[in-house]
Amino acid sequence: MNGSIIKEDGSIVIQISANKVNWQKILQSARITNWKNGGWNSKSYWISHGLEAISAIHDDILMRWTENSLVDGSKRVRTDKYMFRHENLDEGKERGTVGSENRINWNLSKYIWEKTGKNKADTKVTFELPLTDEKENQLKADIVIFHKQKKATVDILEIKKSNNNSDSPLLAVIEGLCYALQIICCWENLIKERELVGLKELSDINIIVAAPEGYWDYWYKSPADNEEKEKIFKKLSKMIESINLQINNEIEVFQKKKKYLPKPKIFLAFANIRDESNREYGKNGIVLREESLKPESTTIFAIDEISVQNPIAEGMLRK
């Protein structure tokens, strides 16, 4: 039984070599492992066992995980039929039940589409965008906004419900990161879709973790402690910065092999989803959270006239 994950004492031991770890495997392992077995995705441990552990890892390891994600992702690309749903947003029929994540996706997609994309050829809003052909372990982004500028920008909105006590902010960021890396791998096929014809260079990908206020109140140890929230966001942003370095390095390797992949920069933001009434989250849009940077390439926060003067360029936090 030495070669089995089932040990003689009845325990099960699963170990993945660092050379094979990627961000999706980190996501999957976090979902199935509880704190007693080293898991970190819980209210008590997502910071100490998750964020702090990743922050302590050398950048070379983060780069390796990212490299593995791009190599694996390039083998799993969805070749066509991305099922853009922006036309469905004009339908009167709402999706999902009140309070469900599906309904939030619908409400917020419709809100953003009506404010930024309904009558504009340069903005496409879709929801539940599939990024692989697999039925199992499918990568399907909650809401994605394509901004068709000289250099394209993509917003990925990772949505969490108010009462979600199983997906920590760190898990949500990693989930958004998996979508971002897979969009890079799929880009050459994505821009062949009729909705995205004319897009070429991908400049920025903005990962926006969006949830009602109740979600953030639950997951932060001290919701009123702005200093704690800023420290957490800075550590997450530093993780993203390290990943950006590897994206740039790894894409050059792909290009030498004559395989085209774009080299975007990834940015991170946290947002509150507004509640209109009776848990109809999303109908009133979203607002940037105070601890968060505002990605300067997105337009969705401008809907609500949030004025932030290029904080990413100036290295400032919004106060």
Q: Which two tokens stand for residue 157?
A: 């909105």
pLDDT in tens, 117-167: 676 778 888 988 999 987 666 789 999 999 887 789 999 999 999 889 999
The total number of residues shown for the chain amounts to 319
Sheet holding 152-159, edge to edge: 123-130, 140-147, 152-159, 202-211, 265-275, 281-288
The HSE-up count of residue 301 (CA atoms within 13 Å, CB side) is: 25
Residue with tokens 């760190």: 170
The candidate with the shortest Cα–Cα distance to 212, out of 143, 300, 165, 273, is 273
Q: Which helix (H) or strand (E) holds 253?
A: helix 226-256
Asked if 84 contacts 126 with a C-beta cutoff of 8 angstroms, the reply is yes
Kindly state the greatest CA–CA separation across the chain.
65
pLDDT in tens, 116-129: 767 677 888 898 89
Residue 97: predicted pLDDT: 78
Average pLDDT of adjacent 10-residue blocks, the chain of 319 residues: 70 79 92 78 93 90 90 88 71 72 86 78 87 80 88 94 93 97 93 85 94 94 88 94 84 69 93 80 89 87 47 33
Residue 234: predicted pLDDT: 95
Q: How many CB atoms lie within 10 A of CB 140?
A: 12
Amino acid symbol at 175: E
Q: Whole-angstrom Cα distance, residue 184 to residue 205?
A: 9
End-to-end CA distance of the chain: 58
Q: Whole-angstrom Cα distance, residue 297 to residue 102?
A: 26
* Predicted TM-score of the model (pTM): 0.88
